[in-house]
């Protein structure tokens, strides 16, 4: 496949025997020193390459092959790969002071906290910065316990909040939890979207309800309309806090800066990560209403992190927020998402025996298959056709489509064509009987 016309980074990748040696060495390092299971998965997916460069919506491997990024890492490249404004801000900070000494106030950290408060719904006002989504959720859980003096957290079946012990305790899939039990006590789970079940589960020891406004890793599950408002009302009536995990849904992904805004809901604590750092520097955060911060005020080191809120990450996040606002990227996600969803619906209509559902909001889309192997095969084949997708951690039947919000209608068409071709291939494997032999066979689609 052609290298980039400008002969950029991909062209500077090693060639020939040197390239083959680099790929083999890297896969061997995975097998011997990093993650043999992942190496096996790469092998199964036919991934005989390594990632090399990225820009905007595109990624290149070491062969110079081009991919449209429809997974985004997942969900971290909302403003595209290597946005120039984020790179410039990070370079500027890198030249001066990348990390904080912490004995003096940090300008980028304070500015980011203020900007987040301005953009967050309602009176969410105080921010704490960490380095990942799980860490943001750990902090939110601790703050809920501290502020209420109660230990209980009610989370959602199928939900995903990360894999550190506290966040894992809130996560709703046993597969990831059972091997590490006992987890943190006092976590219970109720069905997502069922307000009565939630109301019934709240007791005298409940501190908070924790949910994703749209469940990402559960397979892009959208709750019934009005559910978030009902949850807010229940929490208010029962005197418990609402923690909204916007780590995947936030930063414009669903058509609003934060997904709770679709129902004008103000959570008590909101957690962020993934796209907050612009896909350049990792950063996580929880933002809380002021009255919850009372007990934190008494001891500023009650919760802390060495690298959390470092100047590099905060400059990246500040630049990312400006790009999201000035380029109006949340609003872009709605029409582009509708276009992509329309194309996915056509694919489903052509292959109903392979694709059982498509759904989504903004550019947070999911394609559900009748069997996990078909999801895996389609994702692998889409990769071979130059489209990156990714399955969802708590629902292997579903692959997610979460491209950068800067994607163009033309790239959506190209990506949809690649996915259609991959689904058609999966359909052929499912039913290899040729049509003239009288067997069931779906119409071929895409390239």
Residue 134 as a binder of ligand PLP (CB under 6 A): the answer is yes
Member of 161, 173, 289, 343 binding ligand PLP (CB under 6 A): 161
Residues 6+ apart with CB under 8 A from 154: 187, 188, 189, 190, 198, 201, 202, 206, 208, 209, 210, 240
Residue 60 as a binder of ligand PLP (CB under 6 A): the answer is no
With contacts defined by CB under 6 A, name the span among 84-92, 157-165, 345-353, 354-362 that binds ligand PLP. Answer: 157-165
Beta-strand runs (E) in 3-94: 51-55, 58-61, 66-69
Pick between residue 69 and residue 212 the one whose CB is nearest to ligand PLP: 212
Member of 138, 245, 261, 368 binding ligand PLP (CB under 6 A): 245
Pick between residue 61 and residue 212 the one whose CB is nearest to ligand PLP: 212
Pick between residue 381 and residue 402 the one whose CB is nearest to ligand PLP: 402
Pick between residue 243 and residue 424 the one whose CB is nearest to ligand PLP: 243
Say which residue the tokens 């046993």 belong to. 174
Q: Specify whether the CB–CB gap between 323 and 329 falls below 8 A.
A: yes
Copy the structure tokens of residue 288: 């809380």
Residue 54 as a binder of ligand PLP (CB under 6 A): the answer is no
**Range 365-394, binding ligand PLP (CB under 6 A):** none
Distance CA 35, CA 29 (A): 9
Closest residue to ligand PLP: CB criterion: 133
* Active-site annotation holds for 177: no
Say which residue the tokens 């919000």 belong to. 405
Distance CA 240, CA 256 (A): 26
Say which residue the tokens 């380095």 belong to. 131
Q: Which strand (E) or helix (H) includes residue 400? A: strand 395-401
* Active-site annotation holds for 160: yes
* Active-site annotation holds for 274: yes
With contacts defined by CB under 6 A, name the span among 126-134, 336-344, 380-388, 407-415 that binds ligand PLP. Answer: 126-134
Member of 69, 138, 212, 261 binding ligand PLP (CB under 6 A): 212
Catalytic residue among 160, 286, 369, 390: 160
Phi and psi angles of residue 362, each rounded to the nearest 5 degrees, phi first: 60, -135
- Sign, CA torsion 438/441/445/447: negative
Residue 169 as a binder of ligand PLP (CB under 6 A): the answer is no
Residue 247 as a binder of ligand PLP (CB under 6 A): the answer is yes
Sheet holding 187-190, edge to edge: 126-130, 284-288, 269-272, 241-245, 206-211, 152-156, 187-190
Residue 133 as a binder of ligand PLP (CB under 6 A): the answer is yes
Member of 61, 138, 217, 268 binding ligand PLP (CB under 6 A): 217
Catalytic residue among 274, 340, 390, 425: 274
Say which residue the tokens 């496949």 belong to. 1
Pick between residue 134 and residue 235 the one whose CB is nearest to ligand PLP: 134
Copy the structure tokens of residue 428: 């052929």
With contacts defined by CB under 6 A, name the span among 14-22, 132-140, 196-204, 433-441 that binds ligand PLP. Answer: 132-140
**Cα dihedral 234, 240, 241, 245 in deg (nearest 10):** -60
Q: Can you give the binding site for ligand PLP, defined by CB under 6 A?
A: 132-134, 137, 160-162, 212, 216-217, 245, 247-248, 273
**Catalytic residue numbers, as ranges:** 160, 245, 274
């Amino acid at each position: 496949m052609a290298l980039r016309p400008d002969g950029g980074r991909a062209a500077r990748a090693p060639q020939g025997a040197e390239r083959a040696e680099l790929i083999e060495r890297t896969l061997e390092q995975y097998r011997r020193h990093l993650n043999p299971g992942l190496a096996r998965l790469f092998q199964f997916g036919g991934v005989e390459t390594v990632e090399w460069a990225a820009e905007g919506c595109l990624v290149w491997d070491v062969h110079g092959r081009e991919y449209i990024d429809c997974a985004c890492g997942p969900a971290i490249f909302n403003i595209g790969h290597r946005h120039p404004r984020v790179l410039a801000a990070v370079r500027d900070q890198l030249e001066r002071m990348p990390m904080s000494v912490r004995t003096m106030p940090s300008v980028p950290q304070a500015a980011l906290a203020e900007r987040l408060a301005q953009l967050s719904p309602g009176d969410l006002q105080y921010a704490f910065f960490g380095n990942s989504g799980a860490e943001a959720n750990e902090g939110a859980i601790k703050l809920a316990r501290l502020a209420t003096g109660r230990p209980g957290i009610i989370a959602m079946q199928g939900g995903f909040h990360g894999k550190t012990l506290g966040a894992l305790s809130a996560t709703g899939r046993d597969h990831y939890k059972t091997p590490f039990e006992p987890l943190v006590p006092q976590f219970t789970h109720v069905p997502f979207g069922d307000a009565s079940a939630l109301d019934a589960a709240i007791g005298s020891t409940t501190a908070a309800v924790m949910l994703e406004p749209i469940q990402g890793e559960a397979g892009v599950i959208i709750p019934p309309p009005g559910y978030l408002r009902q949850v807010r009302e229940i929490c208010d009536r029962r005197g418990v806090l609402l923690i909204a995990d916007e780590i995947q849904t936030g930063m414009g992904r669903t058509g609003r800066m934060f997904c709770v805004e679709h129902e004008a809901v103000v959570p008590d604590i909101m957690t962020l990560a993934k796209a907050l750092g612009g896909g350049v520097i990792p950063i996580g955060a929880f933002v809380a209403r002021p009255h919850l911060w009372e007990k934190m005020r008494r001891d500023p080191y009650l919760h802390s992190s060495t690298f959390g809120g470092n100047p590099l990450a905060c400059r990246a996040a500040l630049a990312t927020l400006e790009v999201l606002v000035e380029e109006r990227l949340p609003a872009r996600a709605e029409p582009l998402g509708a276009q992509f969803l329309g194309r996915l619906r056509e694919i489903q209509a052509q292959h109903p025996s392979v694709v059982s559902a498509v759904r989504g909001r903004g550019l947070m889309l999911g394609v559900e298959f009748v069997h996990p192997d078909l999801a895996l095969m389609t994702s692998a084949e889409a990769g071979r056709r130059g489209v990156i997708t990714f399955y969802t951690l708590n629902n292997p039947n579903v692959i997610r489509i979460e491209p950068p919000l800067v994607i163009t209608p033309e790239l959506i068409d190209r990506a949809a064509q690649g996915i259609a071709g991959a689904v058609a291939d999966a359909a052929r494997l499912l039913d290899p009987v040729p049509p003239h032999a009288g067997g069931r066979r779906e119409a071929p689609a895409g390239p």
